[in-house]
A = this chain, B = another copy of it.
Amino acid sequence: MEGSMAIESEVFKSGMRRLAAGVSIITTTGLDGPRGLTATAVCSVSVAPPTLLCCVNRGSSAHDTIRAAGILAINFLAERDQDLATRFSGAETRESRFALGSWFTLATGSPILETALASFDCRVVSTIDGASHSIFFAEVIAVRTGAAVGPLLYFDGAYGGFAATETLPSGR
């Protein structure tokens, strides 16, 4: 392994486009009001204590507010909320993002989306500073489960939905 060089950024990004992921809106709130961004880098870390992690670009408008406030909520988007995903990842001003959709709060004050499949209201318990992203470890203090509809997915630069498949016969 010694001397192995990291591969080039473009090769990495081209491969990573093939990671399909559910789409979330991560929100927070601070002295300057609510902030949010569309994200796909969200994982479950442990059940006890219930902990998620999310990777947030340090350049995003929500990043510094999450760091300062120490709270965030992760809202798993339904397929029908694709326009929210677009709005929270686009050039919309920070304030106008929340004009679309119906939002409320649970424990921390971070915005919870009425139409989300599930929402996790969290406090940040630790943070890792990456080169371009911060990784927030977030303990879940309230969960809200919404309607049982299909999830919004992102794959190879496009949004889409989930199509359940039949189990394949074993032995191809």
Binding site for B on A (CB under 8 A): 1, 4-7, 9, 11-16, 18-22, 24, 41-51, 53, 55, 70-71, 76, 79-80, 82-83, 86, 107-108, 117-120, 123, 130-133, 135, 139-145, 151-153, 155, 158-165, 167-168, 170-172
Contacts and interface: CB of A to CB of B under 8 A. Distances in A.
A21 B168 CA distance: 19
Given A4-B123, A49-B131, A12 B162 contact: no
Q: Within the oligomer, what is the number of copies of this chain?
A: 2
B145 A18 contact: yes
Contacts of A1: 70-71, 107-108, 123, 141
A43 B55 contact: yes
Contacts of A18: 76, 117-118, 145, 151
A70 B15 CA distance: 22
A79 B163 CA distance: 11
Given A15-B145, A162-B162, A162-B163, A168 B82 contact: yes
A143 B11 contact: yes
A47 B135 contact: no
Contact of A151 (B13, B155, B161): B155
10 contacts: A1-B108, A5-B141, A19-B24, A20-B76, A20-B162, A82-B168, A86-B170, A159-B167, A160-B162, A162-B162
The 4 A-B residue pairs with the shortest CB-CB distance in the complex, in nearest-first order: A20-B22, A12-B50, A20-B151, A41-B43
Contacts of A155: 22, 151, 162, 164
A12 B47 contact: yes
Contact of A16 (B41, B44, B142): B44
